[in-house]
Amino acid sequence: MKPFTYLTPHTLDEAVSLYESHEGRAAYIAGGTDVLIKIKEEKIEPDYLISLAHIPVSEGVRFNEDTRALHISAFTTHRTLELSPLIRRDYPILHDAVKNIGSVQIRNTATIGGNLANAVPSADGAIPLITMDAVAHIYGTKGERTVDLIHFFLGPGQTVLEKGEILTEIVVPPAPARTGSAYIKFGRRKAMELPLLGVGMLLSLDADMTTCVKVRIGLGVAAPTPIRAYNAERFLKGREVTDATLAEAGQIAADEARVRDSIRGVAWYRRELVGVLVKRMGALCRKRITDEKSIS
């Protein structure tokens, strides 16, 4: 492992300018659970690691009562998200995802922003967020900009982040009434696992509790980047949500998934899983809407 100098800026501007002055030789580090492995495996060899851990930005989650949007600081650890009663109650899809990332030790350190910026096709954090139409807030030398999270990912390990830019916040817009959401990581073991396939789904029903008024289907490890199953979404929207239509939506999603063979799993099996798990997540969303209604 190549040695590096560890820098600890205290403002975003300081971080960005440090990056600029060491351009090409620096990398940002937040939780470090991905960056340090890359350094150890000599995939990157930065001379400077610029820590984002000392910038006094609001770590954690905040619900804006005016806009009804959820603001998640990019520097929030998965463990904070997992233990947040707000996330657990109102954003179950995110709770489903973060509670099974790595181990407790990793979740105590790894951040949601790091999970997104690392941009592996298997990132568990990304799928719920694209499924909820989240927006990424990015800060760099040219100031702040926003990108819809679904357009944030360009390829494995590649994002729209320009050199020196920092992902600072993820904003989740409000969902309609009668919305349920769910995520499943399908893996071979229960911890320290990357998904063989990840499926997130968000479903909003009409007052009749049957007709789908909004649907989002997010797939992980089904393409080089997190994707949405647009054809399946189009099929389901406006239709009655039944076991049969969910199964069909699953089949459509399976057809549009761009799965491939890897040492972790074969394409045909991933495609099978897309069909089965979309169907199951749809049913779980529906159940969560019903349960929610019966509580309120």
Partner 1 sequence: MNNLSVVGQRIPKLDAAEKATGRSRYIQDVTLPGMLYGKILYSKYAHARIVRIDTSRARKLEGVRAVLTGTDIPEIRMGVYKDNPPLKSGKVRSYRDEVAAVAAVDLKTAEEAIRLIEVTYEALPAVFDPETAMKKEAPLVHEAHKTNVLKMPWKLHYGDVEAARSEAAHIVEDRFSATWVTHCCLGTSGCIADFDHDNHLTVYSNTQIPSLAQKDFLGTLKALGLKDRRARVIKPCIGGGFGSKLDTYAYEHVAILLAFHARKPVKIQFDRKEEFIATSTRQPAIMNIVQGCDENGRLLFRDIRMILDNGAYTSWGATTPSVMMLPISSLYRVPNVRYEALCVYTNNTYAQAMRGYGNPQATFAIESAMDALAAKAGIDPVEFRRINANHGDEVTPQGFRITTCGLAGCIDKVAEALGGGKRKKGEGVGYASLVHVGGGARVYKSDGCGTLMKMNDYGQLDLFTGATDMGQGADTVIAQIVAEELGLHIEDIHVIHSDTDICPWDVGAHASRTTFVAGNSALGAARQLRSQIVKIASRVLDVDPQDIRLNDRMVISRQDPEKKIELGKLLRKSHFSPGGNMLMAEYFYDPDNENLGRDFKGNLSMTYTFGTHGARVRVDEETGKVEILRYVAAHDVGRAINPLLLEGQVYGGVMMGIGYALTEQVQLEKGEIMNPNFRDYKILTAKDTVPIAAPFLETTDAEGPYGAKGIGEPGCVPTAPAIANAIYDAVGVRIKDLPITPERVLAALKKKGGDDTCGIDPLTEKVYDCTS
Query: Which residues inside 88-117 make contact with partner 1, applying CB under 8 A?
Result: 103
3-state SS, one letter per residue, for 179-215:
EEEEEEEECCCCCCCCCCEEEEEEEEECCCCCEEEEE
> Kind and range of the H or E element at 282?
helix 267-295
Q: Which two tokens stand for residue 217?
A: 């289907």
Of 189 and 294, nearer to partner 1 (C-beta) is 189
Identity of the residue numbered 97: A
Nearest to 86 by CA among 62, 112, 59, 110: 62
CB of 239 to partner 1, least distance (A): 22
Of 88 and 264, nearer to partner 1 (C-beta) is 264
Among 44, 154, 177, 192, binds partner 1 (CB under 8 A): 192
CB of 33 to partner 1, least distance (A): 12
CB of 4 to partner 1, least distance (A): 13
Of 3 and 143, nearer to partner 1 (C-beta) is 3
Q: Which two tokens stand for residue 243?
A: 């076991």
Of 42 and 208, nearer to partner 1 (C-beta) is 42
- Compute the distance between CA of residue 77 and CA of residue 73 in angstroms, rounded to an integer: 9
- Compute the distance between CA of residue 218 and CA of residue 190 in angstroms, rounded to an integer: 21
Query: Which residues inside 169-188 make contact with partner 1, applying CB under 8 A?
Result: 186, 188
Contact range with partner 1 by CB under 8 A, out of 6-14, 173-181, 190-198, 211-219:
190-198
Q: Which two tokens stand for residue 154?
A: 């360009």
Rounded to the nearest angstrom, the gap between the alpha carbon of residue 94 and the centroid of all alpha carbons in its chain is 8
Report if residue 31 touches partner 1, rule: CB under 8 A: no
Of 191 and 209, nearer to partner 1 (C-beta) is 191
CB of 195 to partner 1, least distance (A): 12
Query: Which residues inside 235-294 make contact with partner 1, applying CB under 8 A?
Result: 263-269, 271-273, 276-277
DSSP assignment string, 108-157: TT-BHHHHHHH--TT-TTHHHHHHTT-EEEEEETTEEEEEEGGGTEEETT
Of 190 and 296, nearer to partner 1 (C-beta) is 190
Return residues touching partner 1 (CB under 8 A). 103, 186, 188-192, 194, 263-269, 271-273, 276-277
